[in-house]
Structure 1
């Protein structure tokens, strides 16, 4: 994820998975920071509102919360949101 204070350098793709399925164990120590990753940690979705995040990341976390409310098992049957930058705004499409 692009740090909040850096300009967009690439297109981002967001994926969601249940941690119990994809993570063997939660890290017990912080990941050493480098030029891209710093302050790596697991944060509950309900605790992300106050975090300093790039706008599109905050939007996608909100989308995920709404999706989980409507579809708690994250089935593949529903469309996924796609945001296309148009000027200084994002246009939302479902694909």
Structure 2
């Protein structure tokens, strides 16, 4: 990960890492992975590497790392807003209830 961060990819929390691999269709993708509770890791965000939009592979991978981080933050924001909205769960009587 140090090589990607040195090239411009965002830093990740301690223990998290980037994985560059091919997806199930053979296209390169970047995954942000979080350590598992007991073993292994799980993907928490991803982005397809768009090689056609960049001059070289490294730049394309760094751009995908940035996109994956954006998706990670968007997912956290969505979950935060959902938790806030669910605080109002239940019936709300306009007359104040009995």
Range of TM-score over shorter length: under 0.3
Larger radius of gyration: 2
Q: Give 1 or 2: higher helix fraction.
A: 2
Q: Give 1 or 2: higher strand fraction.
A: 2
